[in-house]
């Protein structure tokens, strides 16, 4: 917008130097858009710094200053997004992909979002080239389809799923996992597993449901005494049967859709509530869902507003996002 406005004013006034500046800015914007693809989200401020750095570097006169800004921006992009154990809601659009990292670098990915290319970009941005465990919460494509970026593309220690009489996209994902030599497991509710420093408890589904959403595999992960509730897409029926999750961080079910029990959300919200959501026509997240989470004391973070949501698993549990 700035480049267009500057160029338009320059053309109207006959000021050639303004047109030159506009061309420079436009080129910088295009370069930045291509260069930062796949890196951790920089936000508008970070992207603006990179754009200014490129414009100054190309100007000649201000090249040293532009080079200095470029170094600062480059370091911001390549430095780790979190030191030590963390949970990250990856910005994969309208769907879920949650990455858990343990103290020794062990990695658990819960769901893969709808788009393999997008998932591959986000995993690459967080320097993930091996996954100790992949968990598929349920059969819907916005949780499963992106996993094509994983099967056969990196080492995967094991994959978990819940059996489904009508697997749909899940069936194709399991076939791809088998073809890649990934061991498969259907864990029982109540079972506990350890992946390095990450303790995992299977808490749902507690029974069979007509809805695939309510039949989501629900986990509670514990790292250094901090708990993360990974609730898939469960809705009111499953939430009622399961009861509130006593967790520090909650992955909000179903992109914050108006399919949850507000009392369950308030009781389960923890200190940080992560909503993995992208552009959509469904009204996700519902405002009353956000309000219910905040009523429970949670800081509410959204991938559509804040990009990758990184929560260090340390006390006090906190996140930097819109709130």
User: What CA–CA distance (Å, rounded) separates 222 from 200?
Assistant: 6
**CA atoms within 13 A of residue 216's CA, in its CB half-sphere:** 30
For 59-105, the pLDDT digits (tens) are: 667 666 655 555 555 544 444 455 689 999 999 999 999 999 999 99
Q: Does a structural domain hold residue 31? A: yes
Pick out the chain residues at pLDDT < 70: 1-60, 62-83, 322-323
| pLDDT at res. 84 | 87
Burial class (CB in 10 A: 0-12, 13-18, 19+), 166: exposed
C-alpha closest to that of 134 among 146, 122, 147, 123: 147
164 and 15 in a single domain? The answer is no
Decide which of 57, 78, 99 is a domain's last residue. 78
- Per the rule left: phi > 0, alpha: psi between -120 and 50, beta: everything else, 256 is left
Q: pLDDT value at position 19?
A: 45
Per-residue pLDDT, 320? 79
Same domain, 24 and 159: no
* Domain's final residue, options 51, 78, 105: 78
Count the domains in the chain: 2
Give the whole-angstrom CA distance, residue 306 versus residue 255.
14
Give the position of tokens 């754009």. Answer: 51
Q: Which residue has the tokens 């930062």?
A: 36
- The whole-number pLDDT of residue 321 equals 83
Domain boundary among 54, 78, 102: 78
Q: How many whole angstroms separate alpha carbon 102 and alpha carbon 87?
A: 9
Q: Tell whether 270 and 168 lie within a shared domain.
A: yes
Residues 97 and 24 reside in one and the same domain: no
- Asked whether residue 56 falls in the same domain as residue 121, the answer is no
Q: Is residue 320 part of a domain?
A: no
Per the structure, the complete domain to which residue 255 belongs is given by 86-312
Q: CA 202 from chain center: how many Å?
A: 21
Instruction: Decide if 321 is inside a domain.
Output: no
Sign of CA dihedral 271, 293, 300, 280: positive
The answer to the question of residue 322 being in a domain is no
Residues 221, 237, single domain; the answer is yes
What pLDDT sits at residue 40?
Answer: 47
Same domain, residue pair 108 and 252: yes
- Using CA of residue 172, residue 307, residue 273, residue 258, what is the dihedral sign? negative
Provide the whole-model pTM.
0.78
Residue 317 lies in a domain: no
User: Are 120 and 49 part of one and the same domain?
Assistant: no
């Amino acid at each position: 917008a700035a480049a267009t406005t500057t160029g338009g004013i320059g053309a109207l006034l006959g000021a050639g130097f303004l047109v030159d500046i506009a061309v420079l800015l436009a080129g910088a914007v295009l370069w930045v858009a291509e260069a930062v693809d796949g890196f951790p989200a920089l936000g508008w401020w970070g992207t603006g710094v990179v754009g200014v750095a490129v414009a100054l570097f190309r100007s000649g006169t201000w090249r040293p200053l532009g080079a200095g800004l470029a170094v600062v921006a480059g370091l911001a992009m390549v430095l780790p997004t979190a030191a030590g154990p963390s949970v990250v809601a990856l910005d994969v659009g309208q769907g879920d992909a949650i990455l858990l990292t343990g103290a020794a670098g062990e990695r658990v990915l819960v769901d893969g979002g709808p788009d393999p290319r997008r998932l591959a970009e986000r995993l690459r941005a967080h320097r993930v080239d091996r996954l100790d465990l992949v968990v598929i919460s349920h059969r819907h494509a916005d949780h499963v389809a992106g996993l094509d970026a994983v099967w056969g593309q990196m080492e995967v220690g094991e994959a978990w799923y819940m059996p489904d009489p009508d697997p749909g996209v899940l069936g194709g994902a399991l076939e791809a996992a088998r073809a890649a030599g990934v061991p498969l497991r259907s864990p029982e509710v109540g079972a506990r597993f350890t992946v390095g420093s990450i303790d995992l408890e299977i808490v749902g589904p507690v029974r069979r449901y007509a809805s695939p959403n309510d039949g989501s595999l629900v986990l509670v992960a514990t790292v250094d005494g901090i708990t993360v509730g990974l609730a898939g897409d469960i809705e009111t029926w499953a939430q009622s049967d399961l009861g509130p999750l006593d967790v520090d961080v909650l992955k909000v079910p179903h992109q914050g859709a108006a399919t949850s029990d507000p009392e369950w959300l308030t009781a389960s919200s923890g200190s940080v509530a992560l909503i993995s959501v992208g552009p959509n026509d469904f009204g996700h997240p519902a405002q009353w869902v956000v309000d219910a989470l905040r009523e429970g004391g949670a800081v509410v973070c959204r991938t559509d507003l804040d990009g990758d949501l990184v929560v260090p698993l340390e006390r006090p549990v906190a996140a930097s996002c819109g709130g």
